[in-house]
């Protein structure tokens, strides 16, 4: 009887590991973070535009359509990988995307957009991470879906990739509805 | 140059670790003794060089290294450039490896003719662990990865992390975690070798467990101090997954430190101790997994990377699978049927063990519960303070009750009535002191009552036993029946009592006030009147700050202190932090935080009245001191073994 008890630690251990493995392997997307910002209005802020000498005012200039807000930087490697998918979203689906160029060198960002194409309707600059703080960003890239009444509905930490592109489009459709 | 050197020595460390594994795995020990030295010392040397190469890169701000670029900045003060080495995932893994190899070297130092098989087996297991962590670092998080484009400056460093308490917090924690790796290896070695050879494995294990426990305690304390002074939330413990990840091994370590005494004195509970030492290390690694894989999110979350998660989890599965299967097969050799009475010193230690395990299991469940819910129901929930508090506090209480009593009991059977008579003075003393205390504070609350009474209960016991001890010493009587106390135990237990006092006081009687204040506004908290005198801009070494000036008056209208909380803005990293201003005395802290606001609307001000907080830190320091005292005694024993 007593000897059987000695096996229980290993059984319990593997049961717990099984749960962890399952969570890692399923398409769970750990970066789909519940954020305090979800279901809140977009933050109020003002920011200079990268390509024009103008100021963008939030929430005034969020029009009444579903909008994607994407934080990116030229020094961020995953942002480069994500870029084609943002282009796809804007070219194929005609989505309005606002890019926020986070803690970056403006000249380098302009060059980068020229080279890779510009999927953004507006590119705001955030040289000192003020907007990053407003939006609660803690890693690049981060993408938010904002609905037509300026409410943040979804947050993705990490890049849009081949793997999660489909799911992301579904989310957009859900928000559009 | 230097980054390449670091990378090279990192790879060389891997080679040496594999070499160490191979030679200690071989059975013809005597012929390879010289190679042993080469392997162990080579490993230590290479990991040292590798670690200091990274430190050098951080100090000279070599931004061709991604790790430095992402985490450093030229304007950062030198201290934080150095602590920046382990303020990020990759660098902290390097520190982990360094500590691992240092412990490896200490174990190697224990080598002698008598224990050669046992220590070889231990070092073989240590080599496996080291290889695992080296491979993890090299494959998934190499700190020496370079960038193609060069930058003139780095992205900066979270200013929240620029704090002296946080600079030493991670190294202390890692010494703790890695100390448990030694316990793990000793445990595996004890089970693997022939049981006929009586090796006092527990005496080898104990100093390492004690060291791990001491450093883990100190590490957790510094983490709390940082949270209290730097985060500006008025609290010092938040049940964050990362805090839990260090708290769980600490609980098991506490159980282990105590049950090792039973093994030493009574030779029972051996298989239990073997299991505990395996579990403490596995929990340390699982804690790392939870934090680094991004499977759970917390304020500490490092970069999210599922690949890292898969790797660590596989590694845990291998380590845990191997050790626990070994346990299932071999631990029956360590079972013995010596049962003991509940009313004995070993009985009280057993109660301590059971309660520590139950608390650890509850914390573990609370930490992973959001994950379990997600697996089975697709909902996302988070488990917070109410769960942890309402579960752990009541379970801990009997442990504390027994803790006051246990040391008074003698080994073997004790007469129940005799104990009750013996503890009567301390019960009386505890009641008297608590009554005086409540008379002063004039506030009553069931939990607070229990906490404070328990704290004084332990203190009374300690006081009385110390007096007793001194009397015996003076009379030079050696009575068989009177148990002996180690000074380390007494000091550590006193520390726990002070800690409980602080925890109970600060959580039960804390007062919080969040209001919007304009200059010259007045508010009151507890017996204090606080006047917002002025707000001004001040310049720091690498920040500009808005500084509020609050004058605090007591109820006799005498000024007590001027508190100057700051709202700092770091132009370089462009982050802002709040710097709480705290007035501390032995009875309470007054804690003021300046929030957002402007001249017209006023500023949001958070004011906390935190009773007895300082006793938490004094308690933690006392526990640490007690640990060091026991360490001294145990090292003496170890020295005798290794001659």
B304-357: per-residue pLDDT in tens? 566 777 888 899 999 999 999 999 988 888 877 666 777 788 888 888 999 999
Where does the pLDDT of residue B255 fall: very low under 50, low under 70, confident under 90, or very high at 90 and above?
A: very high
Closest to B4 (Cα-Cα) out of B65, B91, B84: B65
Stronger pLDDT, B609 or B469, i.e. the higher one: B609
Residues contacting B246, CB < 8 A, separation 6+: B173, B176, B216, B219, B220, B223, B287
Q: What sign has the CA pseudo-torsion B78, B83, B89, B90?
A: positive
Rounded to a whole number of angstroms, the distance from the CA of B80 to the nearest CA of chain A is 21
pLDDT of residue B136 exceeding 50, the answer is yes
Of A24, A128, A133, the CB nearest to B293: A24
Q: Are the C-beta atoms of residues B74 and B153 closer than 8 Å to each other? A: yes
Average pLDDT over residues B586-606: 84
Contact residues on chain A for B310, CB-CB shorter than 8 A:
24-25
Q: Which residue's entry shows tokens 């939330």?
A: B233
Mutate to test the interface with A, among B574, B577, B596 (most CBs of A within 10 A): B574
Secondary structure of residue B253 in the 3-state scheme: helix
Burial group, residue B493, by CB count within 10 angstroms (0-12, 13-18, 19+): buried
Contact residues on chain A for B573, CB-CB shorter than 8 A:
129
Q: What's residue A1's pLDDT? A: 43
Contact residues on chain B for A2, CB-CB shorter than 8 A:
332, 335
Name the closest residue on chain A to residue B66, using Cα atoms. A75
Query: Is some CB atom of chain B closer than 8 A to the CB atom of A128?
Result: yes
Contact A23 B295 (CB under 8 A): yes
Q: Are the C-beta atoms of residues B208 and B179 closer than 8 Å to each other? A: yes
Contact residues on chain B for A19, CB-CB shorter than 8 A:
368, 371-372, 375
Query: Is some CB atom of chain B closer than 8 A to the CB atom of A10?
Result: yes
Rounded to a whole number of angstroms, the distance from the CA of B398 to the nearest CA of chain A is 26
Buried b (16+ CB within 10 A) or exposed e, A78-99: ebbebbebbbebbeeeebbbbb
Q: What is the pLDDT of residues B548-558, one digit of tens each?
A: 999 999 888 88
Stronger pLDDT, B567 or B127, i.e. the higher one: B127
Rounded Cα distance, A108 and A125, in Å:
12
Average pLDDT over residues B605-629: 92
pLDDT of residue B84 exceeding 90, the answer is no
Question: Which tokens sit at B184?
Answer: 């793990």
Q: What's residue B439's pLDDT? A: 78
Cα-flanking dihedrals φ and ψ of residue B344, to 5°? -145, 170
Angstrom distances, CA of residue B122 to CA of B21, B38, B245, B439? 10, 17, 25, 56
Where does the pLDDT of residue B215 fall: very low under 50, low under 70, confident under 90, or very high at 90 and above?
A: very high
A window 29-48, beta carbon within 8 A of B: 30-31, 33-34
Q: For chain A, how many residues are written?
A: 177
Q: Which residue's entry shows tokens 């717990």?
A: A16
Q: What is the pLDDT of residues B342-376, one digit of tens each?
A: 778 888 888 899 999 999 999 998 888 877 777 77
Closest to B224 (Cα-Cα) out of B233, B455, B83: B233
Mutate to test the interface with A, among B288, B306, B570, B596 (most CBs of A within 10 A): B306
- Spell out the SS3 assignment of B49-72: HHHHHHHHHHHCCCCCEHHHHHHC
Question: Which tokens sit at B221?
Answer: 């304390």
Q: What is the pLDDT of residues B147-194, one digit of tens each?
A: 776 677 777 666 777 778 888 888 999 899 999 999 999 999 999 887
Distance of CA B16 to the CA centre of its chain: 30
Contact A30 B295 (CB under 8 A): yes
| Segment among B124-128, B332-336, B607-611 with least mean pLDDT | B332-336
Count CB atoms within 10 A of the CB of residue A6.
18
Contact B324 A33 (CB under 8 A): no
Query: Is some CB atom of chain B closer than 8 A to the CB atom of A166?
Result: no
Q: What's residue B181's pLDDT? A: 95
CATH match of A29-176 with 3.30.56.10: no
Q: What's residue B616's pLDDT? A: 94
pLDDT of residue B300 exceeding 70, the answer is no
| Residues paired with A41 in a beta bridge | A151
Of B295, B306, B328, the CB nearest to A10: B328
Burial group, residue B518, by CB count within 10 angstroms (0-12, 13-18, 19+): middle
pLDDT of residue B50 exceeding 80, the answer is yes
Count CB atoms within 10 A of the CB of residue B174.
24
Contact residues on chain A for B316, CB-CB shorter than 8 A:
17
Rounded to a whole number of angstroms, the distance from the CA of A9 to the nearest CA of chain B is 7
Residues contacting A10, CB < 8 A, separation 6+: B320, B321, B324, B325, B327, B328
Contact A9 B301 (CB under 8 A): no
CA Rg value for chain B: 27
Rounded Cα distance, B129 and B188, in Å:
12
Of B306, B321, B574, the CB nearest to A30: B306
pLDDT of residue B248 exceeding 90, the answer is yes
Contact B325 A20 (CB under 8 A): no
Q: Are the C-beta atoms of residues B565 and B581 closer than 8 Å to each other? A: yes
Question: Which tokens sit at A6?
Answer: 């000695």
Contact B327 A10 (CB under 8 A): yes
Helix axes B116-140, B201-226, angle to 10 degrees: 30
Count CB atoms within 10 A of the CB of residue B600.
6
Closest to B449 (Cα-Cα) out of B461, B459, B439: B439
Query: Is some CB atom of chain B closer than 8 A to the CB atom of A94?
Result: no
Name the closest residue on chain A to residue B337, using Cα atoms. A2
Closest to B243 (Cα-Cα) out of B298, B285, B188: B298
Contact A21 B575 (CB under 8 A): no
Name the closest residue on chain B to residue A139, using Cα atoms. B303
Average pLDDT over residues B560-589: 84
Q: Are the C-beta atoms of residues B59 and B81 closer than 8 Å to each other? A: yes
Q: Are the C-beta atoms of residues B197 and B117 closer than 8 Å to each other? A: yes
Angstrom distances, CA of residue B435 to CA of A169, B334, B337, B530? 66, 48, 45, 31
Where does the pLDDT of residue B475 fall: very low under 50, low under 70, confident under 90, or very high at 90 and above?
A: low
The domain limits of chain B are 163-410, 415-507, 511-611
Contact residues on chain A for B315, CB-CB shorter than 8 A:
none
Rounded to a whole number of angstroms, the distance from the CA of A10 to the nearest CA of chain B is 5
| Residues paired with B631 in a beta bridge | none
How many pairs of residues across A and B have Cβ atoms under 8 Å apart?
Answer: 86
Q: What's residue B14's pLDDT? A: 95
Starting at the edge strand found earlier in the chain, the sheet holding A142-146 runs A122-126, A96-102, A67-72, A142-146, A152-157
Cα-flanking dihedrals φ and ψ of residue B580, to 5°? -70, 150
**ipTM of the complex as predicted:** 0.76
Name the closest residue on chain B to residue A4, using Cα atoms. B328
Q: What percent of chain B has pLDDT over 70?
A: 90
Closest to B51 (Cα-Cα) out of B186, B144, B174: B144
Count CB atoms within 10 A of the CB of residue B477.
9
Cis omega before residue A59 (within 30°)?
A: yes
Contact residues on chain A for B269, CB-CB shorter than 8 A:
none
Angstrom distances, CA of residue B512 to CA of B104, B508, B531, B535, B606? 48, 12, 16, 22, 7
Which helix (H) or strand (E) is B607 found in, with range?
strand B602-611
Contact B332 A128 (CB under 8 A): no
Contact B375 A34 (CB under 8 A): no
Q: What is the pLDDT of residues B411-435, one digit of tens each?
A: 777 677 877 887 888 888 888 888 8
Q: What's residue B205's pLDDT? A: 92
Q: What's residue B18's pLDDT? A: 93
Point out the residues of chain A with pLDDT beneath 50. Answer: 1, 30-31
If you average pLDDT over each of B367-381, B438-452, B455-469, which comes out highest?
Answer: B455-469
Rounded to a whole number of angstroms, the distance from the CA of A49 to the nearest CA of chain B is 19
Closest to A71 (Cα-Cα) out of A113, A126, A148: A126
Contact B372 A19 (CB under 8 A): yes
Q: What percent of chain B has pLDDT over 90?
A: 34
| Segment among A8-17, B193-202, B296-305 with least mean pLDDT | B296-305
Q: What's residue B195's pLDDT? A: 66
Contact A103 B316 (CB under 8 A): no
pLDDT of residue B443 exceeding 70, the answer is no
Query: Is some CB atom of chain B closer than 8 A to the CB atom of A13?
Result: yes
Average pLDDT over residues B185-206: 86
Query: Is some CB atom of chain B closer than 8 A to the CB atom of A77?
Result: no
Locate the DSSP E strands across B199-317: none
Rounded Cα distance, B294 and A56, in Å:
34
Q: What is the pLDDT of residues B507-518, one digit of tens each?
A: 888 888 888 888
Rounded Cα distance, B383 and B386, in Å:
8
The chain-wide mean pLDDT, for chain B, equals 85
Contact B303 A103 (CB under 8 A): no
Mutate to test the interface with B, among A1, A6, A112 (most CBs of B within 10 A): A6
Rounded to a whole number of angstroms, the distance from the CA of B70 to the nearest CA of chain A is 10
Q: What's residue B410's pLDDT? A: 75
Closest to A30 (Cα-Cα) out of B161, B248, B302: B302
Average pLDDT over residues B392-405: 87
Name the closest residue on chain B to residue A33, using Cα atoms. B297
Rounded Cα distance, B177 and B159, in Å:
26
Which helix (H) or strand (E) is A68 found in, with range?
strand A67-72
DSSP state letters, B336-383? ------SSSHHHHHHHHHHHHHHHHHHHHHHHHHHHHHHHHH------
Where does the pLDDT of residue B299 fall: very low under 50, low under 70, confident under 90, or very high at 90 and above?
A: very low
Q: What's residue A109's pLDDT? A: 87
Contact residues on chain A for B317, CB-CB shorter than 8 A:
14, 17
Rounded to a whole number of angstroms, the distance from the CA of B332 to the nearest CA of chain A is 7
Q: What is the pLDDT of residues B3-40, one digit of tens each?
A: 999 999 999 999 999 999 988 887 665 555 678 888 99
| Residues paired with B562 in a beta bridge | B551
Q: What's residue B32's pLDDT? A: 58
Q: What sign has the CA pseudo-torsion B365, B371, B372, B378?
A: positive
Q: Are the C-beta atoms of residues B10 and B144 closer than 8 Å to each other? A: yes
Closest to A14 (Cα-Cα) out of B129, B313, B326, B310: B313
Contact residues on chain A for B324, CB-CB shorter than 8 A:
9-10, 13
Q: What is the pLDDT of residues B283-293, one digit of tens each?
A: 999 887 777 76
Closest to A152 (Cα-Cα) out of A68, A31, A64, A29: A68
């Amino acid at each position: 009887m007593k000897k059987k008890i000695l096996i229980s630690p290993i059984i319990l251990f593997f049961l717990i590991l099984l749960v962890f493995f399952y969570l890692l392997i399923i398409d769970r997307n750990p970066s789909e973070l519940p954020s305090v910002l979800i279901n809140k209005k977009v933050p109020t802020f003002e920011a200079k535009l990268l390509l024009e000498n103008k100021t963008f005012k939030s929430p005034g200039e969020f029009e009444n359509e579903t909008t994607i807000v994407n934080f990116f930087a030229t020094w961020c490697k995953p942002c480069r990988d994500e870029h084609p998918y943002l282009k796809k979203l804007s070219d194929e689906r005609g989505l309005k995307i606002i890019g926020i160029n986070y803690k970056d060198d403006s000249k380098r960002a302009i060059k980068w957009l020229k080279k890779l194409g510009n999927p953004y309707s507006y590119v705001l600059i955030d040289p000192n991470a003020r907007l990053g703080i407003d939006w609660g960003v803690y890693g690049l890239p981060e993408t938010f879906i904002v609905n037509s009444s300026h409410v943040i509905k979804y947050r993705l930490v990490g890049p849009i990739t081949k793997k999660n592109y489909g799911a992301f489009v579904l989310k957009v459709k859900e928000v559009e509805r | 140059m230097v980054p390449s050197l670091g990378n090279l020595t990192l790879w060389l460390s891997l080679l040496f670790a594999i070499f160490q594994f191979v030679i200690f795995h071989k059975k013809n020990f005597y012929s390879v003794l010289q190679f042993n030295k080469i392997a162990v010392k080579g490993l230590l040397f290479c990991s040292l060089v590798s670690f200091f190469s990274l430190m050098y890169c951080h100090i000279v701000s070599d931004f061709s290294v991604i790790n430095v670029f992402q985490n450093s900045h030229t304007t950062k003060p030198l201290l934080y450039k150095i602590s920046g080495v382990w303020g990020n995932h990759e660098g902290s893994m390097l520190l982990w490896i360094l500590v691992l190899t240092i412990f490896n070297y200490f174990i190697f130092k224990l080598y002698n003719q008598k224990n050669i098989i046992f220590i070889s087996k231990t070092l073989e297991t240590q080599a496996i662990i080291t290889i695992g962590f080296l491979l993890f670092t090299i494959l998934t998080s190499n700190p020496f990865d370079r960038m193609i484009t060069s930058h003139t400056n780095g992205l900066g460093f979270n200013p929240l992390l620029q704090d002296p308490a946080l600079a030493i917090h991670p190294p202390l924690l890692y010494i703790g975690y890695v100390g448990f790796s030694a316990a793990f290896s000793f445990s595996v070695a004890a089970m693997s070798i022939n049981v006929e050879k009586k090796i006092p494995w527990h005496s080898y294990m104990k100093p390492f467990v004690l060291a791990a426990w001491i450093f883990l305690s100190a590490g957790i304390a510094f983490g709390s101090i940082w949270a209290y002074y730097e985060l500006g939330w008025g609290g010092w413990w938040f049940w964050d997954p990362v805090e839990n990840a260090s708290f769980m091994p600490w609980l098991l370590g506490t159980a282990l430190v105590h049950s090792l005494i039973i093994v030493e004195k009574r030779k029972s509970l051996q298989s239990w101790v073997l299991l505990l030492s395996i579990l403490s290390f596995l929990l340390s690694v699982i804690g790392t997994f939870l934090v680094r894989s991004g499977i759970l999110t917390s304020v500490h979350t490092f970069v999210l990377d599922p690949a890292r998660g898969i790797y660590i989890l596989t590694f845990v599965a291998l380590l845990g699978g191997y050790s626990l299967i070994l346990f299932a097969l071999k631990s029956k050799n360590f079972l013995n049927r010596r049962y003991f009475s509940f009313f004995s010193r070993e009985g009280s230690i057993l109660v301590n063990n059971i309660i520590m395990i139950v608390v650890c299991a509850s914390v573990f469940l609370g930490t992973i519960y959001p994950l379990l819910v997600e697996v089975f129901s697709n909902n996302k929930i988070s488990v917070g303070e109410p769960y942890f508090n309402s579960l752990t506090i009541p379970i801990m209480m009997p442990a504390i009750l027994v803790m006051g009593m246990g040391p008074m009991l003698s080994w073997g059977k004790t007469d129940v009535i005799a104990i009750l008579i013996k503890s009567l003075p301390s019960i009386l003393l505890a009641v008297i002191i608590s009554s005086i205390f409540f008379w002063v504070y004039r506030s009553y609350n069931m939990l607070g009552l229990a906490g404070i009474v328990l704290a004084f209960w332990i203190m009374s016991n300690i006081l009385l036993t110390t007096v007793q001890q001194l009397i015996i010493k003076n009379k030079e009587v050696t009575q068989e029946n009177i148990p002996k106390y180690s000074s380390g135990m007494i000091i550590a237990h006193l520390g726990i009592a002070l800690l409980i006092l602080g925890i109970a006081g600060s959580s039960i009687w804390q007062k919080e006030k969040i209001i919007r204040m304009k200059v010259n506004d007045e508010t009151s908290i507890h017996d204090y009147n606080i006047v917002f005198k002025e707000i001004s801009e001040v310049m720091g070494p690498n920040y500009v700050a808005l500084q509020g000036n609050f004058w605090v008056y007591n109820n006799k209208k005498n000024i007590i202190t001027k508190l100057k909380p700051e709202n700092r803005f770091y132009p370089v990293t462009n982050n802002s932090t709040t710097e709480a201003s705290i007035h501390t005395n032995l009875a309470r802290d007054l804690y003021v935080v300046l929030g957002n606001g402007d001249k017209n609307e006023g500023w949001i001000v958070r004011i906390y009245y935190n009773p007895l907080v300082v006793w938490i830190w004094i308690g933690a320091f006392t526990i640490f001191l007690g640990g060091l005292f026991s360490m001294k005694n145990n090292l003496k024993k170890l020295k005798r073994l290794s001659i």
